[in-house]
C-alpha cells in the first residue's frame, strides 16, 4: 500500500513539474530540458542491491575536486569543446560523496595511509601502510598488520589485480597487498621486516594477487643487475623475478609482451625502472594506463567468481608536485579513458565501480575567466554578447595577465632566493605561448622544491551494486565498508 501510494505521489509530482515547466519562458532552453530529463531519470531510478561479483576501485592520486575540474575542462577542450560543458565518465555516475582524508596523526595526509584506509576500513598513521593505530613510522617492531579487502576477496575465490603508472611498490598500489611501517621500503627493509616488493611476491605466492602492472622493476632484482627497463637495486641479493617465474607468474616488460600475455595465468608487468612515463612523454613501446586496464580486466574476467581491481593514475600526483598542470591533466585524461574502457567491459548490474582520489593538492583555479578559456593558459576576459571568451587576457592589479591555474606553493614560486638568503620577486609578463608549453610550471606563492598535498576533502563517484550507500560527507575508510558490503553483505 505504501509503495503504491509513494509511486502515485511521485507520478503526480512529476506530471505537475512538467505542466509547470511548460508555462515557463525558459522551458525551451537546453539547460532547462536537460535538468528536467535528469529529474525524471532520478525519480525512475531504483537502487541496485545485487551482490557485487566484481569491484573496481579507480584512484587518481591527488585528483581532488580541483584537479578533477581541470581534467574535465582539459579533456573537453582537447575534443574541440569549450570544456565546461564536458563530462568525464565518472561525472555521470548516479552516486557521489565528499570524502575526508586525514590520517590518524596528520591533518594533511599522504598516499600510504589514505590508500590503506580504503583497503582496510580504518584510518592509519602517516607514512605507514596497513598497520593498526599503534604503529610507529620507520619502526618495524611496532607493526600490527591489518586484514585487507584483497585478502578477503581472495579467500572467497575471487581474483585481485593492481595497476599503477607509478611503481607497483608505490604507496597506493602497495596498500592493496602490503603492510609496512615505512612506505619507502620499496626494495630493502630493516632486519626482521619484509620490504614492499618482497611482500608483493609473497602475495602472488599466497594466491592473493593475480595481476600487477606498473613500474618499479629495480625493486625486484639484485643491485647492479641489468634488466629490460632498468637496473636492480636490491641489497639482499634476492632475484624476485626468478622467484615469480618459478611460481608460474608471467613477466612482461613492454606493450608487445603485455598484449601477448596468456590471460589465463597470473601476470606481472614492470614497464619502467621506477615510475612509468607521463602520458605526455610515453614512448611507443610503453603501455598506457588504458592498455593496462583493458589487459587486467581481460585476465581477471577469466575467474567466474569475480575480481577486485585497483587502478591508479599515480603520476597525476607527481605532476602536481612538480607544479606542471599540463602533465597532471594529460595523465588525468587517459585515466578517464581507462574508466570508460572498464565501463564498456563489465556488467554494472554485478560490478561496483568507484572513482576517487587519496588526497587533494594546493592547486587553485582563479579569475573571472570567460567560457572556453584554455584551462592551462591565461585567464581570458568574459565577453559581452557572446558565449566564448573575449580573446583578451584578464589583468590583475599589477597590470599583468595571470594563468587560470596556480599553486599555493611549489617550484613555480614567484619568490626567488636572494644572495642574502631572503626571498623576493615579481610576477613576469606572461604570454599565452609561454604558459601553454607542456613544460611550463604554473606560478606559485610559497617557494618549495615540491608542491605539497592539501587536507581538503576529495570527491567520490560510484555506480553499480550498493553504490547508493555513498552520499553526503564521509570518512575515506568508508570505501572499504561499502565494497565489503556490496561483495559479501557485511564486515567479516
Annotated binding-site positions for Mg(2+): 61, 170, 172, 312
**Of 11, 17, 29, 111, catalytic:** 111
CB-CB contact of 244 with 260 (8 Å): no
Contact 444, 414 (CB under 8 A): yes
Separation in Å, CA 274 to CA 165, 254, 270: 10, 14, 9
Inter-CA distances, 375 with 70, 326, 369, 407, Å: 7, 9, 10, 14
In angstroms, the CA 137 to CA 413 distance is 31
Residue pair 97/470 in contact by the 8 Å Cβ criterion: yes
Integer Cα distance of 376 and 384 in angstroms:
23
Active site residue 384: no
Q: For 13-25, give the secondary structure using H, E and C.
A: HHHHHHHHHHCCH
The C-alpha atoms of residue 106 and residue 204 are separated, in whole angstroms, by 32
Sign of dihedral through CA atoms 152, 199, 270, 331?
A: positive
- Binding-site residue positions for Zn(2+): 61, 317, 321, 358-359, 453
Which residue matches cell numbers 561483495?
A: 487
Q: Whose CA is closest to 319, among 307, 328, 311, 310?
A: 328
**Helix, strand, coil abundance in the chain, percent, nearest 5:** 35, 20, 45
Contact 339, 355 (CB under 8 A): yes
Measured between alpha carbons, how far is 334 from 291 in angstroms, rounded to an integer? 10
3-state SS assignment for residue 160: strand
Helix/strand/coil for 153: helix
Q: Which residues are catalytic?
A: 111
Amino acid at each position: 500500500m505504501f509503495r503504491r501510494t509513494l509511486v502515485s505521489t511521485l507520478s503526480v509530482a512529476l506530471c505537475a513539474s512538467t505542466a509547470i515547466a511548460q508555462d515557463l519562458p525558459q522551458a525551451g532552453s537546453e539547460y532547462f530540458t536537460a535538468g528536467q530529463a535528469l529529474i525524471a531519470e532520478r525519480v525512475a531510478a531504483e537502487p541496485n542491491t545485487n551482490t557485487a561479483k566484481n569491484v573496481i576501485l579507480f584512484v587518481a592520486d591527488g585528483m581532488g575536486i580541483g584537479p578533477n575540474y581541470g581534467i574535465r575542462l582539459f579533456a573537453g577542450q582537447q575534443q574541440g569543446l569549450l570544456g565546461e560543458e564536458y563530462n568525464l565518465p565518472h561525472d555521470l555516475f548516479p552516486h557521489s560523496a565528499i570524502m575526508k582524508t586525514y590520517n590518524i596523526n596528520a591533518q594533511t595526509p599522504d598516499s600510504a595511509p589514505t590508500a590503506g584506509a580504503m583497503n582496510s576500513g580504518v584510518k592509519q598513521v602517516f607514512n605507514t601502510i596497513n598497520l593498526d593505530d599503534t604503529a610507529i613510522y620507520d619502526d618495524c617492531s611496532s607493526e600490527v598488520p591489518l586484514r585487507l579487502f584483497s585478502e578477503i576477496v581472495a579467500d572467497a575465490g575471487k581474483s585481485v589485480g593492481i595497476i599503477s603508472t607509478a611503481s607497483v611498490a608505490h604507496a597506493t598500489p602497495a596498500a592493496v597487498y602490503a603492510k609496512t611501517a615505512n612506505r619507502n621500503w620499496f626494495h630493502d627493509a630493516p632486519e626482521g621486516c619484509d620490504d614492499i616488493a618482497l611482500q608483493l611476491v609473497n602475495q602472488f605466492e599466497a594466491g592473493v594477487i593475480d595481476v600487477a602492472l606498473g613500474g618499479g622493476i629495480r625493486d625486484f632484482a639484485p643491485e647492479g643487475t641489468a634488466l629490460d627497463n632498468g637496473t636492480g637495486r636490491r641489497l639482499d641479493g634476492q632475484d624476485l623475478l626468478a622467484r615469480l617465474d618459478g611460481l608460474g607468474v608471467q613477466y612482461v616488460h613492454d606493450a608487445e609482451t603485455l598484449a601477448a600475455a596468456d590471460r589465463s595465468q597470473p601476470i606481472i608487468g614492470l614497464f619502467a625502472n621506477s615510475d612509468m612515463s607521463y602520458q605526455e612523454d610515453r614512448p611507443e613501446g610503453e603501455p598506457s594506463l588504458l592498455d593496462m586496464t583493458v589487459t587486467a580486466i581481460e585476465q581477471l574476467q577469466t575467474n567466474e567468481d569475480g575480481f577486485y581491481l585497483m587502478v591508479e593514475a599515480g603520476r597525476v600526483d607527481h605532476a602536481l608536485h612538480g607544479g606542471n598542470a599540463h602533465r597532471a591533466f594529460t595523465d588525468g585524461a587517459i585515466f578517464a579513458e581507462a574508466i570508460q574502457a572498464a565501463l564498456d567491459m563489465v556488467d554494472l548490474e554485478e560490478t561496483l565501480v568507484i572513482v576517487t582520489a587519496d588526497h587533494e593538492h594546493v592547486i587553485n583555479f582563479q579569475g573571472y575567466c570567460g567560457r572556453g578559456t584554455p584551462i592551462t593558459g591565461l585567464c581570458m576576459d568574459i565577453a559581452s554578447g557572446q558565449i566564448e571568451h573575449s580573446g583578451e587576457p584578464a589583468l590583475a592589479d599589477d597590470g599583468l595577465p595571470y594563468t587560470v591555474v596556480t599553486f599555493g606553493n611549489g617550484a613555480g614560486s614567484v619568490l626567488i632566493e636572494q644572495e642574502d638568503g631572503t626571498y623576493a620577486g615579481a610576477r613576469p609578463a606572461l604570454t599565452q605561448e609561454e604558459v601553454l608549453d607542456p613544460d611550463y610550471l604554473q606560478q606559485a606563492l610559497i617557494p618549495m622544491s615540491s608542491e605539497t598535498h592539501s587536507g581538503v576533502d576529495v570527491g567520490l563517484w560510484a555506480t553499480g551494486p550498493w553504490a547508493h550507500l555513498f552520499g553526503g560527507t564521509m570518512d575515506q575508510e568508508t570505501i572499504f565498508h561499502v565494497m565489503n558490503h556490496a561483495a559479501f553483505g557485511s564486515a567479516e
